[in-house]
Structure 1
Amino acid sequence: MATRTNQQGTKKNPDFNPYNITPESAHTAVLLLESKEPEILCHTLRAITKFAAQDKTDTTNREVLFNLDAIKYILQHIDHPELTIKRFALKALAQLCQLPRGPDQVLSDPVNLRRIAFLLSKMEDVFVLEFASLVLAELTTGANGSAQLVDANILGVLFSRMKNSPDPDVQKNCLQTFSNLLAYPQCVSEVTKNPQFSWPSILALMQSKFLALQHAAITTVEQLVSRFDDLAVQKTFKASTGVLDLCDILESYEFRDVHAQILGVLHTYVGTEDNTTHVYQSGCILRLLSYLEMALPAMKPLCLAVLTKMSYFVEGRNALFETGTDLVFCRLLPTANTDLLEDSAMGVANMTKLMPSAVRMADTNIIQALCTILSDDTTAWFNVRMNVLLALAELCRIIPKAAFSAVEHKTFSSLRDINRNYKMNPIEAQHLAVQCYLNLLSYHVSTKAMLTGDFIKELISILQRPHINLKIMTTNVLTGLMAEEIAKYLFNDRRGEETVDTNLRIEHVGLQTALCNLIIASVTDEGADEYLALGTIHFMVENKEARYKVKVWEPALEAIFRHHPSAKLAYAGRLDINDFTAEGFYVQKRLDDFFPTMAEIVQTPPPHRQPVFVILFYPPPLQPPSGCDIRTPHNGSTSHYELAATSSGRIRFPPVPDDVNLRTYLMRLKLWFGDPAKSLHYIEIQDSVFEVRQRDKCAEVSSSLKECAKVLADYVCEQMSGLAQERDCSMPGVNLHLADLMMDLNSRVIGLGWVRVGGALERALLYKVLADRIGLPCALYRVSSAHAWCEVAVPDLPTEELEEHTVKQYPAGLLRPNYVVDLTLQQGKLHPVGSVEARRITGPKCAPLYLVRQPPRICVCEHNENNHL
């Protein structure tokens, strides 16, 4: 509208101009779109496109038009007969479709997209094609638009325009449309199966002189090659020159602006085993290595990332080994360019999975380079030093030479510093450092280097941290170290049992399993004492739920009991034929809530009421085992007797008068039965640990064991009651005798040989102790504070064999307790297990064992004709 003039001919400011749109007048401009005049429509649409384009970074103007429902009015003119109106309508529609809600309004009616698609297929005007393709690119950003475009069946037209259009903008928009379709699985198959689809046309656009078109083509190629499950796409790409074209672009300085994108495509493509093989067979690995040498610093990390990703696959590692890329990884590690360290370290870690490559890398200074980077606090942990740790762990796992280098003082110190200064290092690094320790256990030399008190102490300190997985891994390291005998004593010297006890109370099945395995591997006599003092044994016995959850809970408890038979008798109420009483074995006359250690018993103040029986064969001061005990130390190592004398503050053997009587008993039995170390095959005397598996190794046992059992029973009864049983062995008489002993010795600890008036408990103890030392398989059971008995496992000979008076041999592995030794009623007799006579000694079957924290209950039995007890 022309400006108005007044009568004096002066100009006034226009009140309104529909072709100079402002947010206040936009409503009028939208209303003008309903005009029938082509000139008005042309000027209005032109003004709208100008108004919408004024805010390229701000969408305020387009939001105003959208809120005025301008799209509905613009759609009426996209197929207007006037070409200029058609151009401006499509341009304005494309601008409004860039709004988040714009495509939804257009796609609300599927006819709208078909009208635009018709223009793309029928029109040849370059502006119409540009704006129509731009609208389609915007509409297909969502799943609804992509589905409607596929239904419109114009994919062939899009491919044709992309290949043959002289306008790069049309080509770019068509590529963008295809890229949008590839984002939706229901549409992508229609694109790749279309007869017009071909790789050469897309690959040719990657080398276009127009950067935007080049970027769009590369993006589309990356989307296609990332479809690893689409066998048709993968097969056709391998058949094309795609990989070679990518390398050609990398080698062209003219296309340096898209090198990062090209490397991104290659990084995506080498995500499968087959694609990695194809890259190698195409000769591209050598071309990538050449590019790595001459590339700009910013491109080197991207190129190296492609090679590193190939090392994740078996065929990729083989290809990298054949091209010497593993040595390139090693050469790049000491470089000052920290951007290359991450992938170089990961490449080394992955290449160690290929043995020839690992051996070749180990011949370089790779371990020193890794440890140098690891000790550099200026290097970032994520992911440079983490990958360095991973590479170090992998090398130490399979290459002995690398493991030996890793435990050298300087290199091993950098590895240990991770957990020494754990507050400054991430937990993931601590995990990997412990994993290195686990891998080092594979070799004797590296294991021996870790057998130091300081290192054991560090591992124990790691167990005190709150991270469960780290605890489990550290526990496994300690368990592996316990294969060496010295490690057990270092562990005990550093109070490792205290840390095990603390962690064992954490309710975590995996941690408890690992700790139980550690107990089995590490427990010693001193360690068993410590577990008793800490209450670990009591906790393990009482925790019945853990017994069902943790499979090695019971074996761990048995391992402790094997080194502490005193505790087993107190908590289990029995000692089996494979449980051997050791020097210092002690038994309480009456049990309390907790079973005390010998140190606690000795420190009990007077008056002394309840006696404690102790087994001491050797005179004070303690001497190494002599011929009195058939169990000599294994391989001449330091005996547990000597270690007990130097243990840290724990009383292994109490200061009691010399038990010369007990020693005399044993010497006399040796004169009668001979030296068991020379004549019996029941046990292996070269090992101080007696187990069922050792007995199974024995070939035979003598049929004379039954007579030995009877003679021993007579002898025990004679020592406890006199030759003619003249001593009062009733319960009051026994108690009075024990009280006199405690008063005379001024201690509640009484050597068993000092007891000359004994009841069932005292006799059974003496029988078990002596039977263990003459090679007689004997089990001890206790059902009350004073009621105990022994069962022996001896060959049961037929009558006709007894008459022959010949000694025969029988398989030792088949021995089971089969006779109850009568030490109180018919003294010296052996009664078959389960017989009436045996039941008179053992009591009813339902009689409870006498245990810690389990007072004896009254047994109510059903009487029958075979059971009169």
Structure 2
Amino acid sequence: MGKKVKKESEPPSKDVFDPLPIESKKAATVVLMLNSPEEEVLVKACEAIHKFAEKGDENRSSLLGLGAVEPLSRLISHEDKLVRRNAFMALGVMAANSDVKRLLKKLDAIPSIIRKLSPEEDVVVHEFATLCLASLSVDFSCKVQISDQEGLEPLIQLLSSPDPDVKKNSVETICNLVQDLPSRVAVRELNGIPPLLELLRSEFPVIQQLSLRTLVIVTTDTDTRATFREEQGFDRLLEFLCNKEFSDLHVEALQVLSNCLEDRDSLQLIHETGGLQRLLQFITTPTLLDIQTNAVKAISRVAQSSENRKLLHEQDIERSLVELLSLEGDSLRTATCQAVAAMSLHLASKDAFRDLDGIRAVVQLLGSEGGEVREAAAQALSSLTSSNQLNSYAVYEAEGDEGLVQQLHDVIPGAVAHAAAVLTNMAEQEVLRCSILSHGAMAALLEPLQSADTHTLVRATQALAALACDAEGRADLRNAGGLVPLVQLLRSNHKEVRRNACWAISVCANDEPTAVEMCKLGALDLLQEINSSANRRNKFSEIALQRLLDSNLSLKYSLTNTLAPTDITVDGFYDPGQARSGQRVLTLEDLSKQPVNQRRPVITINAKPLDTVSVDQSEERQQDSPTETRTASVLSSKGSTRTPSKGKSKGRKEDEKLRDEDESKPQQEVATVTEKPWMLPYDAAFHALVTEATKTILPLHVESEQYSALARLVSEVMGGAVEVDRQHDFLWELHLSELRYELQSNIIPIGQIRKGTYYHRALLYKVLADRIGVSCSLVRGEYNRVWNEVLLSVGMPHYPGCQPQPRAHLVDLIHQPGRLLRANTPQAKQYQTI
């Protein structure tokens, strides 16, 4: 036998590549491997990138720069399950980087991610796919794309996943999506409320918190709140609130409860199950500040309904809120004041807060350093004092009026607006109004009247109108310079601001000095412009214009050419002639400074001697100065417990200081400062006419005799009867020219006119009639034709039993003085026209 020979092994195949284990220390190399066709290489590359990306955002940015995102976004759809899983792990971690998110949005990766949320996919894929969506859903456009790709439904299904990370990522994504209204509705329609409620029982606080945050948002929808009730949401919520282990999440839970309690059905349900008592315990039981604050906010939401306020009142909620006002913490005090404001819409609650001395507690918060607290306190007082005089007086008793006036200087518009609203409510009572004015309220309103905030402007003008309803208030307003910003508000484009400004002007126009000043500032022109516009005109602008004219009859007559029987002229009235459209009517003082000219003379009325004028002006100056009388009237009110020396002593100190300064000035300097004001000359002749008319006309008992006798008196004074065809011989123009040059003035007192035509006689008739109580009007026509109309009771001749009816008649003052012409007859029309 031959020797055995060792059998040689078969040579390796030439076309097979031996396995090559690769170790890379460069991320760039691994990124290149993402383009490999081998599944094993892809799996290892994705795994390496995932680990590298987890180490920090700097690494993620580095991978982005190396181009790792694009191949990863393709690999999440790879056929191999392991490749898909590892690619998602890498991409999920990298998506936390903002630049990566922008690139994924550009690559349109969202549809691919959503497709992998199906139940057939691996749990790890679900975890990192939802992680990707959680990062992307922060962006608005990504939210829209996720909703358009119907990503919400699989996300809701994944809320029931056994994996807590999947739950956490899914609910976080949903929480981001429901920031938009369509997604909130979709959550309800896709039956998302039950799984969200189930997450409250999770052992992971972050999942519970995200679920609560989502519920806070979705329960702002009315239909969702109904679904919440149907799914026993209140039971779950109260169970959660009763668990002290979850106290750090009770804030969000209370916010959900607050939303749901807006509905009457929800409140009734929670009341029946004892939930309302539990909510009140959160208010009264010392606990975390945020929890108490949110419990009070829940009460505020509940109190938005009148029925809910009644139910809360039955639970004695006012006592709990008053106790909270004394606790520290700006957020809690702010929320409590807002709850007080809401509950004060209930009449019984207003009284309860006053009885519990809650108003004083709120007043004290006006001095808080926190701006939100001051604003909320003023809001509460505004609600408490609305249509409630007892509460307004309680604010005064707590010395709140001074604090409210100070708050008009606040930098927070809301605080200013609410303070002005409280002052408006308080100003309904005279004693309170005087006290408010004594603290300088009119000067304090100057800044709010120039605010850029429309709500502040509305409230400020309302306060001004309430405080300017008497002479003292209007004098304060004038002295403070408040008429300038008020008149400027007529230019406002805001409808409500303009309307309130008109109302304030109509109130201020109740005395002549204020009306004249406002006319100087252009109020009349602005009101005429407003009333000529169909869009801007309103009933308040019409009232303001009428009031402004009624307070300045000279202006009214010049602009409207008519004075009604109710327009009673007084000393100081003058006729400057008919004003053209857009023409400014000058004051008497301005007209007195003009040199003698050839224009129509200005006719004036003044039967008041100079010594009487001096006395009246002295009294006016005393009224315009800081008065002790006003403060004394406030302090002497019945039942007042305020310190009686506060306002009064301040006024005395100011007066003493001014007196000392005046005494220290040299006499020459004082004399230089004091200028003698211009005064209308006394018309002794007119005074004599008034006396004569009183003696001769008033004793007559028949109306027609009074009208005719007064007409004859006027005609006799003004040159007697003038025949119709001899009017050209009646040289009244020459007479007026002589008077003008004799007086060296364009202003002529009516008593000095001895030759007068239609408009002189009609004017004299009107002013004499007003002095003796005879009713008549003054109407200006064309071409210097002016006449008086009177109402004369005339019976029907063919029906003796009929009651006499008042008929309008014109009074003939020129041709047949004393003749009464029936209005609209040919004789009357001839008298009215040339």
Q: Is residue 2:391 matched to residue 1:402?
A: yes
From 14, 18, 22, the equivalent of 1:18 is 22
CA displacement at 1:392 relative to structure 2? 1.8
CA displacement at 1:341 relative to structure 2? 1.8
Corresponding residue for 2:329? Answer: 337
Q: Distance in 2 between matches of 1:77 and 1:656?
A: 113
Q: Distance in 2 between matches of 1:800 and 1:640?
A: 58
CA displacement at 1:346 relative to structure 2? 1.3
CA 146–504 in structure 1, closer or farther in 2 if over 3 Å, else same: closer
Q: Distance in 2 between matches of 1:793 and 1:511?
A: 42
Corresponding residue for 2:414? Answer: 428
CA 832–310 in structure 1, closer or farther in 2 if over 3 Å, else same: closer
Query: In structure 1, the residue corresponding to 2:788 is in which secondary structure?
Result: strand
Query: In structure 2, the residue corresponding to 1:346 is in which secondary structure?
Result: helix
Q: Deviations over 1:768-820 (max 9, x none)?
A: 3334455554333334675433333323455569xx9x9x9735xxx453x33
CA displacement at 1:25 relative to structure 2? 0.8
CA displacement at 1:413 relative to structure 2? 1.6
CA displacement at 1:583 relative to structure 2? 3.4
Q: Distance in 2 between matches of 1:816 and 1:219?
A: 79
For this pair of structures, how many residues does the alignment match?
Answer: 746
CA displacement at 1:212 relative to structure 2? 4.4
CA displacement at 1:351 relative to structure 2? 1.7
Q: Distance in 1 between matches of 2:683 and 2:231?
A: 90
Matches within 5 A, 1:734-749: 734-739=732-737, 741=739, 749=747
Corresponding residue for 1:35? Answer: 38
The percentage of aligned residue pairs carrying the same residue is: 21
What's the TM-score once normalised by structure 2's chain length? 0.75
CA displacement at 1:215 relative to structure 2? 4.2
Retained in 2: the 8 A contact 1:546–1:553?
A: no
AA at the equivalent of 2:763: L
CA displacement at 1:59 relative to structure 2? 1.6
Retained in 2: the 8 A contact 1:373–1:385?
A: yes
CA 809–194 in structure 1, closer or farther in 2 if over 3 Å, else same: closer
Matches within 5 A, 1:670-681: 670=697, 672-674=699-701
Q: Is residue 2:590 matched to residue 1:586?
A: no
Corresponding residue for 1:245? Answer: 239
Query: In structure 2, the residue corresponding to 1:716 is in which secondary structure?
Result: helix
Retained in 2: the 8 A contact 1:263–1:302?
A: yes
CA 190–533 in structure 1, closer or farther in 2 if over 3 Å, else same: closer
AA at the equivalent of 1:413: E
From 373, 376, 382, the equivalent of 1:387 is 376
CA displacement at 1:374 relative to structure 2? 1.8
From 510, 522, 525, the equivalent of 2:512 is 525
AA at the equivalent of 1:332: L
From 748, 754, 778, the equivalent of 2:776 is 778
Retained in 2: the 8 A contact 1:393–1:439?
A: yes
Q: Deviations over 1:154-207 (max 9, x none)?
A: 977x47x63xx4x54455456567767867888878876779x784x7655433
Query: In structure 2, the residue corresponding to 1:792 is in which secondary structure?
Result: strand
Q: Distance in 2 between matches of 1:611 and 1:41?
A: 107
Q: Distance in 1 between matches of 2:217 and 2:491?
A: 54
Q: Deviations over 1:456-485 (max 9, x none)?
A: 444456546666654443332232334445
Retained in 2: the 8 A contact 1:150–1:190?
A: no
Corresponding residue for 2:830? Answer: 840
Q: Distance in 2 between matches of 1:821 and 1:323?
A: 75
Q: Distance in 2 between matches of 1:452 and 1:564?
A: 29
Corresponding residue for 1:310? Answer: 302
CA displacement at 1:387 relative to structure 2? 1.1
Q: Distance in 1 between matches of 2:267 and 2:339?
A: 15
CA displacement at 1:389 relative to structure 2? 1.5
Q: Distance in 2 between matches of 1:660 and 1:155?
A: 95
Q: Deviations over 1:821-853 (max 9, x none)?
A: 333334443333344433432216xxxxxxxxx
What's the TM-score once normalised by structure 1's chain length? 0.72
Corresponding residue for 2:463? Answer: 477
Q: Is residue 2:63 matched to residue 1:59?
A: no
Query: In structure 1, the residue corresponding to 2:375 is in which secondary structure?
Result: helix
From 421, 439, 443, the equivalent of 2:425 is 439
Q: Deviations over 1:497-554 (max 9, x none)?
A: 5665555566766555434433433322344444566665566568874697333444
Q: Distance in 2 between matches of 1:739 and 1:42?
A: 116
Q: Distance in 2 between matches of 1:651 and 1:620?
A: 12
Matches within 5 A, 1:716-727: 716-721=714-719
Q: Is residue 2:692 matched to residue 1:665?
A: yes
Query: In structure 2, the residue corresponding to 1:119 is in which secondary structure?
Result: coil
Matches within 5 A, 1:744-823: 749-773=747-771, 776-783=774-781, 787-798=785-796, 810=804, 815=806, 817=808, 819-823=809-813
Matches within 5 A, 1:171-570: 172=168, 199=194, 203=197, 205-215=199-209, 217-219=211-213, 222=216, 225-230=219-224, 233-238=227-232, 241-249=235-243, 251-252=244-245, 255-270=246-261, 272-291=263-282, 293-297=285-289, 299-376=291-368, 379-381=369-371, 383-408=372-397, 410-419=399-408, 422=409, 425-452=411-438, 454-459=440-445, 462-463=448-449, 470-484=456-470, 486-488=472-474, 491=477, 500-501=486-487, 503-504=489-490, 510-522=496-508, 523-531=510-518, 536-537=523-524, 545=532, 549-551=536-538, 552-570=540-558
In structure 2, the gaps of 5 or more residues are 1-19, 138-142, 626-675
From 67, 78, 81, the equivalent of 1:79 is 81
Retained in 1: the 8 A contact 2:794–2:804?
A: no
CA 78–401 in structure 1, closer or farther in 2 if over 3 Å, else same: farther
Q: Distance in 2 between matches of 1:668 and 1:515?
A: 47
CA 493–182 in structure 1, closer or farther in 2 if over 3 Å, else same: closer
Q: Distance in 2 between matches of 1:455 and 1:315?
A: 38
CA 237–772 in structure 1, closer or farther in 2 if over 3 Å, else same: same
Q: Distance in 2 between matches of 1:645 and 1:656?
A: 27
CA 639–514 in structure 1, closer or farther in 2 if over 3 Å, else same: farther
Q: Distance in 1 between matches of 2:526 and 2:234?
A: 71
Query: In structure 2, the residue corresponding to 1:793 is in which secondary structure?
Result: strand
Q: Is residue 2:123 matched to residue 1:129?
A: yes
Aligned-CA RMSD value:
4.7
Query: In structure 1, the residue corresponding to 2:406 is in which secondary structure?
Result: helix
Retained in 1: the 8 A contact 2:442–2:476?
A: yes
Q: Distance in 2 between matches of 1:269 and 1:335?
A: 27
Retained in 2: the 8 A contact 1:584–1:652?
A: no
Retained in 2: the 8 A contact 1:608–1:747?
A: no
Q: Distance in 2 between matches of 1:154 and 1:744?
A: 101
AA at the equivalent of 2:277: L
CA 470–26 in structure 1, closer or farther in 2 if over 3 Å, else same: same
CA 731–585 in structure 1, closer or farther in 2 if over 3 Å, else same: farther
